[in-house]
Amino acid sequence: MNALTGKHIILGITGGIAAYKSVVLLRLLIKAGAEVQVVITPNGKQFITPVTLSALSGKPVVSEFFTANTGEWHSHVDLGLWADAMVIAPATASSIGKMANGIADNMLITTYLSAKCPVFVAPAMDLDMMAHPSTCRNIKLLKSYGNHIIEPSEGELASHLVGKGRMEEPENIVAALEHYFATCDDLKGLKALVTAGPTYERIDPVRFIGNFSTGKMGYAIAESLRRRGAEVTLVSGPTVVAPPQGVNLIKVESASQMLSACEKEFDCCDIAVWTAAVADYAPACPSERKIKREKEAVNSIQLVMNPDIAATLGKCRKDGQTLVGFALETDNGEENARRKLESKNLDLVVLNSLADPGAGFATDTNRITIISRLGDMMVFPLKDKSEVADDIVNEIIYFRKNK
């Protein structure tokens, strides 16, 4: 049976020339066994006729909030709840901007805002529109909402210019949906605990010892685990990254707070991923008042070692738990990572190097190597952190099946 059999899909079509490809997409979705409701924007109808779409889908196409001659109301809320997935293909720069900013001035965007299901967005536009900072920012926003972006490919565009902006081929869009439904229950029934971000160790009420971690990697891992069906608790140090939807977020400040929060969750978790960049030291006696700018303050801060959360909880691990740590190294990466596997009682260690351009803190990308207790070592190329997170989660699933 195809992973799309019986699935309710909303196919959203916006006003771009690639709308002609949506007919093939609709045909393929129906062939794969999905039930498809087309929702088209007023501009979409300039490119493709509702008659073709309703004939292929076997359902009247929805475009307006109500049918003019009968006054029949089309409920975007009911539609949003009906859908198992929504795919917007093509998604123009304008519609992406409206989705990113909640401008619900047509039936499609209103349905998008009501939908609780996973949303797949296949942008299609001219290369300069695609590269515009506004489009890039809006696509980034959609990603932060948990939407799946099906990246456009490079090639000849309707303008005859050549570049990135061609809507992905319908076969590949269907493959992305099939892959999603085939894998979304992989971790169903399992609990995952993820630490993320830096910790701040107070010196006084205005100063702290911290580090440059943004939390992006840990948040992406939490999101990826949730997408595969796990019930996720994310224990996060201070960060400005938007929390993924559908995870239980516990905000902490210091390493000792992070340890306390994790201790409460660890016993019942099946998977723990220690992504946080926990500060190694904390001031022994944080001052309750702001320390004055005086010479005596120099060298006056005594430090104590922070708890090692991964190592502490690794000591009381139970059968069936899968524990994953990170090793951010500047040199002797593999050797140090293998040592951490042992010292922190981990199953997998994710190695990344600050020496690698595009890897480490405060970037949207990462280049990782995963070393397993089973002896395997997997080297991955530089990727977007959301894809890196998916690679890590795939390895967790593989490890649990093969240990």
Residue ranges in contact with ligand C5P by CB under 6 A = 195, 255, 274-276, 278, 306, 308-310, 325-327, 340, 344
CB of 224 to ligand C5P, least distance (A): 17
Cβ proximity to ligand C5P: between 96 and 276 the closer is: 276
Cβ proximity to ligand C5P: between 157 and 279 the closer is: 279
CB of 337 to ligand C5P, least distance (A): 9
Cβ proximity to ligand C5P: between 120 and 219 the closer is: 219
Clarify whether 211 is annotated catalytic.
yes
CB of 347 to ligand C5P, least distance (A): 12
CB of 98 to ligand C5P, least distance (A): 39
Q: Identify the burial level of 170 via C-beta atoms within 10 angstroms of its C-beta, where 0-12 means exposed, 13-18 middle and 19 or more buried.
A: buried
Q: Of the listed 43, 211, 336, 394, which one is catalytic?
A: 211
CB of 340 to ligand C5P, least distance (A): 6
Cβ proximity to ligand C5P: between 159 and 256 the closer is: 256
Cβ proximity to ligand C5P: between 242 and 354 the closer is: 354
Cβ proximity to ligand C5P: between 9 and 273 the closer is: 273
Task: Name the residues annotated as catalytic.
Answer: 211
